[in-house]
């Protein structure tokens, strides 16, 4: 009935990414830290891959997982940053609907994979510290490959419904996404339909993936810390902690901004929108 003047928006062929709404004037300045971090991430992660490939002494479970993490990081940041930077630099805000759905799939699939790899690494550290003598018989190359495959399958499948759900909905009011990349909830919020299934599904994924992974990592670290504190000598404690300290830092740096972003989305209704977007980008 009242659809007549809205039809030209129905199933739009492109979306418009607004970048960081409210901070358009400073896009060029914001691009400097983003571009710097992206360059460092690309160089750093390729360096990891290169070094692990060359050094035979690094051909072990911990470094294989590190390589998986580096590949995931490379894919994840490359599916977000080039488009974000081109919005900042060239104001190229348009994105094809299918490109948007593809980007959505990559973002959700690879951020969940990152989480899965952190679990695999925590398991490796748990066995290495709590059952050091059995480490090489438990974490064989076969098991490492199987764990990698399990992560890829779990998250490849879990992320699949996101673009399909987003494609189902009619978009008839606006096609402006107040974000710098196509993320599931940001896109389906624009739909003029009851998007409850979409929002249930993303909550389900957040709680099942992040919830399970975090509890698993927490369990591993409880055991690890217990083992470390039962060591009699301080230098032995420090040395053992040194083999998992960087993993723990990476885990905290990965989950905390995500948790923060999730909480401000749920409860922070008077937080300015550009703050959400900046945190999400970080």
Q: Which residue's beta carbon is nearest to the bound ligand NAG?
A: 44
Query: What is the crossing angle of helices 61-90 and 141-158, to 10°?
Result: 30
For residues 157 and 238, give the distance between their C-alpha atoms in angstroms, rounded to a whole number: 40
Which is nearer to ligand NAG, 121 or 188 (by Cβ)?
A: 121
CB of 45 to ligand NAG, least distance (A): 4
CB of 281 to ligand NAG, least distance (A): 12
- Per the DSSP assignment, residues forming a β-bridge with 177 are 17
Which residue do the tokens 């900046």 mark? 278
CB of 50 to ligand NAG, least distance (A): 11
Three-state secondary structure call for residue 269:
coil
CB of 191 to ligand NAG, least distance (A): 30
CB of 34 to ligand NAG, least distance (A): 12
* Residue numbers at the binding site for ligand NAG (CB under 6 A): 40-41, 44-45, 48, 73, 76-77
Which is nearer to ligand NAG, 121 or 190 (by Cβ)?
A: 121
The residues, ordered by sequence, that sit 6+ positions from 94 with a Cβ below 8 Å of its Cβ are 14, 15, 16, 17
Q: Evaluate whether 280 touches 185 at the Cβ level (below 8 Å).
A: no
Which is nearer to ligand NAG, 153 or 253 (by Cβ)?
A: 253
Which is nearer to ligand NAG, 40 or 212 (by Cβ)?
A: 40
Which is nearer to ligand NAG, 66 or 182 (by Cβ)?
A: 66
Give the Å distances, CA to CA, from 35 to 28, 39, 57, 77, 99: 10, 6, 34, 11, 22
């Amino acid at each position: 009935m009242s659809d007549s003047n809205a039809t030209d928006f129905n199933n739009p062929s492109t979306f418009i990414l607004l970048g960081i709404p409210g901070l358009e004037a400073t896009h060029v300045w914001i691009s400097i830290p983003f571009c710097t971090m992206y360059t460092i991430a690309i160089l750093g992660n390729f360096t990891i891959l290169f070094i692990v490939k060359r050094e035979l002494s690094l051909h072990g479970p911990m470094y294989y997982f590190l390589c998986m993490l580096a590949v995931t990081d490379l894919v994840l940041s490359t599916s977000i940053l080039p488009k974000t930077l081109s919005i900042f630099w060239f104001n190229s805000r348009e994105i094809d609907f299918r490109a948007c759905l593809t980007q959505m799939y990559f973002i959700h699939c690879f951020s969940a994979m990152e989480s899965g790899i952190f679990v695999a690494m925590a398991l490796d550290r748990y066995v290495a510290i709590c059952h050091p003598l059995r480490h090489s018989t438990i974490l064989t190359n076969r098991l490492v490959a199987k764990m990698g495959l399990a992560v890829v399958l779990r998250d490849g499948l879990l992320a699949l419904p996101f673009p399909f759900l987003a494609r189902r909905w009619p978009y008839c009011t606006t096609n402006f996404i107040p974000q710098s990349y196509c993320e599931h909830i940001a896109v389906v919020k624009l739909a003029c339909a009851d998007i409850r299934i979409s929002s249930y599904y993303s909550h389900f994924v957040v709680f099942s993936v992040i919830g399970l992974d975090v509890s698993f990592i927490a369990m591993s670290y409880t055991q690890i810390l217990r083992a470390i504190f039962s060591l009699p000598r301080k230098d032995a404690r420090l040395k053992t902690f040194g083999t998992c300290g960087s993993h723990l830092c990476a885990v905290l740096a990965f989950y905390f901004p995500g948790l923060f972003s999730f909480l401000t989305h749920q409860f922070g209704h008077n937080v300015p929108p550009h703050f959400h977007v900046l945190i999400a980008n970080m």
